[in-house]
Chain A
Amino acid sequence: EAGVTQFPSHSVIEKGQTVTLRCDPISGHDNLYWYRRVMGKEIKFLLHFVKESKQDESGMPNNRFLAERTGGTYSTLKVQPAELEDSGVYFCASSHPAGALDTQYFGPGTRLTVL
């Protein structure tokens, strides 16, 4: 079974530009999560989809971040315009609902550098 995949693995952009990150969850997983790790800090939750619906986006930093999951399969996270503080590693995770506490399977992350 293929794991969670993320694209690109690295992205280097200039401040003010736009970047779109993509996550392909494990097939059949309804839950999809985005997290971010800023250098030196812990991994932090950004948002949670169940199929195509946003269930919780309380961790989204501001309105420069837009996440979508059209069709309930892959998801994209767009940052527009990017700022220096957006640099970090963006992780995606997916899970198959199993009661309330599902085990999340993580992708390898996209390392974003904003110059």
Chain B
Amino acid sequence: GQNIDQPTEMTATEGAIVQINCTYQTSGFNGLFWYQQHAGEAPTFLSYNVLDGLEEKGRFSSFLSRSKGYSYLLLKELQMKDSASYLCAAPILTGGGNKLTFGTGTQLKVEL
């Protein structure tokens, strides 16, 4: 089966750096996705990691360690608009596509 764990909520200050962790246990590994979801809106794709290491995309970076079953999302120069839920998700291959197993999401609150 699949199990994804991430903290329920975090608070950080505007301009700061925050790291959102995700640990996973999967039967077969096909990488890890991170999505951002603002309240009442669609989850939006942020990153996908399948190899160990850090992938940087502007203010957002995602890290993966397959041996430790661990990933994190790093947000730099936080802005108020970064207040959202951040979802870690592991894909399971299914007939030409993949179904995602999600964690409960980490609600990030950015304060002044």
> What residues of chain A have their CB less than 8 Å away from a CB belonging to chain B?
3-4, 30-31, 33, 35, 41-45, 48, 50, 55-56, 59, 91, 95, 97, 100-109
Q: Are A97 and B97 in contact (CB under 8 A)?
A: yes
Q: Are A101 and B42 in contact (CB under 8 A)?
A: no
* Known contacts A106-B42, A106-B44; A101 and B102 CB within 8 A of each other: no
Q: How far is the CA of A44 from the CA of B40 in the complex (A)?
A: 17
Q: Report the nearest B residue to A97, measured CB to CB.
A: B96
Q: Are A42 and B96 in contact (CB under 8 A)?
A: no
Q: Are B42 and A102 in contact (CB under 8 A)?
A: no
How many residue pairs, one in A and one in B, have C-beta atoms under 8 Å apart? 74
Going nearest first, the 4 A-B pairs with the smallest beta carbon separation are: A55-B95, A106-B42, A45-B99, A56-B94
Q: How far is the CA of A55 from the CA of B97 in the complex (A)?
A: 9
* Known contacts A33-B99, A101-B30; A48 and B42 CB within 8 A of each other: no
Offer 30 A-B interface pairs, CB within 8 angstroms, sorted by A: A3-B42, A33-B100, A35-B100, A41-B104, A42-B4, A43-B87, A43-B102, A45-B100, A45-B101, A48-B94, A48-B95, A50-B96, A50-B97, A55-B95, A55-B97, A95-B97, A97-B97, A100-B30, A100-B96, A100-B97, A100-B98, A101-B31, A101-B93, A102-B98, A103-B45, A103-B48, A104-B45, A104-B100, A108-B40, A108-B42
